[in-house]
Amino acid sequence: MLSLSSFARRCALSSQTAACLRAASSDVSGLKARLSEIIPAQQQEVKAFRKEFGGTKIGDVTVEMAYGGMRGIKGMVCETSVLDADEGIRFRGYSIPECQDLLPRAAGMESEGEPLPEGLFWLLMTGEVPTTEQVRALSQEWASRASVPPHVVSLVTNLPSTLHPMSQFSAAIAALQSESRFAQAYGEGVHKSTYWEHCYEDAMDLIAKLPTVASLIYKVIYKDGDVTPIDSNLDWSANFANMLGFRDSEFHELMRLYLTIHSDHEGGNVSAHTCHLVGSALSDPYLSFSAAMCGLAGPLHGLANQEVLVWITEMQSKLGSSPSDADVAQYVKDTLASGRVVPGYGHAVLRKTDPRYTCQREFALKHLPDDPLFDLVSKVYQVVPPILTDLGKVKNPWPNVDAHSGCLLQHYGLKEMQYYTVLFGVSRALGVLSSLVWDRALGLPIERPKSMSTIGLKKLVNAKNN
C-alpha cells in the first residue's frame, strides 16, 4: 500500500487556494452568465411546445421493442447532440468535421490543430460556437477548479492495484461527492428554479477535477503515484496528458481530438441514459456521473476500447505482426465460433462506419502512417465487415469509435489497455453533464417508464388483436 503522498498534501493546500480563487472569480469564462441568458427563453419554448403538442403521438411501441432494449423508441429528450444512423453524431447540429473546422484550437496550433474539448463543451451547453477568448477563459476556469480533496487521494492510493481502473474511477467520483454544491444547496432548501445553477457548478467542478483523479489512478496503479501539478496556462487536454506523464505535443493533439469526439452520443446510450436517469431522482452530478461510469465500464459499451486492444494483441501474438487477410479472417471466424462478439464493430443506432472512427483513422494517416498496429487495424477494417454481413443478423457490420482509439494510444506509449475506458469516461463527462444541467433547467421529472410482465404483454396483445 502507498501512504498518503506529497501529492495529497499539495492537493490539500491547493484545495484552499482554489476555493479562494473561485470565491473571488467564479464564472471566469462567462459561460454561466451566457446560460442565464439562454435558459429562460428555452424554458418558455419547451413549456409552450408541451402545452400545444403534449398529446401528439410521436411513435408506436411494439412487443419486440419492449424485449429488445427499447431500440428506436422515441421516449426521452436530449438537447446536446443527435445521432443519425448513416451520418453519425452531430453536436448541436455540427458534424465532427465541422467541429474540427469551427471550434477554437490550442495556442500555437491555430492553423492546423485539433479542436479543444473546452470549445465543444461550450457548444454542447449553449448551442453556440465559442470565441477563442471564451475557450481560453474556460481552460483557466477549469484549471482553477481542479483540486481534489485529500480523502479522494487517500482512497485511490489505498485501493488495491488489481481493482479495475474503471471501478477506481467510479469510486473516486462517488467519494468526490463531498464537494457537491447541488447536494448542499438542496439540503438548505433552495427553490427548485435554481437547481440548474448548483448543478452547473458541480458539472464545472467535476469536469475540472476529472483529469487529476484519472491521472492519479493511472500513476498509482502503473507508475510512482506522483502527479504533475496543473498548469493554469495550459488547456484541459494538455494538462491531462502532462499529468499522465506524456509531454509529446503530438500526443496532446491526440488527446484534444480524443476528448472531443468521445464526449456525447445523444441521450439513449448506456452512460448518458444512466446519468440522466440517476440525476432524475435529484441525485447530484457526482453520484449521477459515478453511476454513468459503471455503465461505461461494460464491454458492450465503453470497455470495448480495452477489448479491441486485447483482441488485436492476442491476434498479433498468435499470427505474428503482419498476418495475411486469410489468417485474420480465420481469427475473426474463430472469435465468432467461440460465442463472442468482434469488439469495436457494430452499433445499436449507427448503420455506417462511425465518423469517430474515420477521424481517428485520418489522424493516424497524418501522424503515424507506418505504424504496424495501425496497419493491422486497417486490415481488420477490410476483413471484418463482410464476415459480419454474412452472419445475416448483425445490423451494422462497420467499425465504431472503439475499433481505433487503442492503436493511437499504443503508438504514443500509453500501453495500459485496462486504463483506456477511463479516458473515454473523462470525455463523456462533457456531454452527459451538459445534458444534466439542461435536465434541471427544464425541470424534467423523475424518470419512471412503465414495465410489463410477459403475462401482461400477452393480455395486451390479445386485447389489441381481438
Contact assessment for residue 148 and residue 3, using Cβ atoms and an 8 Å cutoff: no
Contact assessment for residue 302 and residue 292, using Cβ atoms and an 8 Å cutoff: no
Site string for ligand CMX, 300-339 (x = CB under 6 A): xxx-x-------------------------------x---
**Unique residue bearing C-alpha cell 455506417:** 352
Count helices and strands (H / E) in the chain. 21, 2
H or E element at residue 267: none
CB of 112 to ligand CMX, least distance (A): 28
In sequence order, the β-bridge partners of residue 94 are 91
Could you say whether residue 400 binds ligand CMX (CB under 6 A)?
Answer: yes
Tell me which DSSP letter residue 177 carries.
G
Measured distance CA(439)–CA(21) in Å, rounded = 29
In sequence order, the β-bridge partners of residue 89 are 83
CB of 401 to ligand CMX, least distance (A): 6
CB of 391 to ligand CMX, least distance (A): 7
Q: Tell me the number of residues near ligand CMX by CB under 6 A.
A: 22
If the CB atoms of residues 195 and 419 are measured against ligand CMX, the closer one turns out to be 419
The C-alpha cell of 154 is what? Answer: 487517500
Near ligand CMX by CB under 6 A, which window of 216-224, 284-292, 390-398, 455-463?
390-398
Residues 64 to 123: which contact ligand CMX by CB under 6 A? none
If the CB atoms of residues 214 and 380 are measured against ligand CMX, the closer one turns out to be 380
CB of 270 to ligand CMX, least distance (A): 7
Active-site residue, selected from the candidate residues 235, 264, 402, 439: 402
Catalytic annotation on 402? yes
SS3 call for 298: coil
Measured distance CA(253)–CA(270) in Å, rounded = 28
CB of 172 to ligand CMX, least distance (A): 22
Could you say whether residue 146 binds ligand CMX (CB under 6 A)?
Answer: no
SS3 call for 83: strand
Catalytic annotation on 301? yes
Active-site residue, selected from the candidate residues 262, 347, 404, 411: 347
Could you say whether residue 344 binds ligand CMX (CB under 6 A)?
Answer: yes
Identify the residue among 7, 196, 289, 345 touching ligand CMX (CB under 6 A): 345
Residue 215 CA, distance from chain mean position = 16
In sequence order, the β-bridge partners of residue 80 are none
Listed residue (124, 20, 146) closest to 80, CA to CA: 124
Measured distance CA(383)–CA(365) in Å, rounded = 19
Could you say whether residue 394 binds ligand CMX (CB under 6 A)?
Answer: yes
CB of 175 to ligand CMX, least distance (A): 26
Tell me which DSSP letter residue 417 carries.
G
Could you say whether residue 425 binds ligand CMX (CB under 6 A)?
Answer: no
Measured distance CA(175)–CA(152) in Å, rounded = 6
Active-site residue, selected from the candidate residues 252, 273, 301, 411: 301
SS3 call for 155: helix
Give the residue nearest to ligand CMX (CB): 346
Catalytic annotation on 191? no
Residues 266 to 305: which contact ligand CMX by CB under 6 A? 269, 300-302, 304
If the CB atoms of residues 318 and 395 are measured against ligand CMX, the closer one turns out to be 395
- Residues taking part in catalysis: 301, 347, 402
Site residues for ligand CMX per CB under 6 A? 269, 300-302, 304, 336, 341-348, 388, 393-396, 400-402
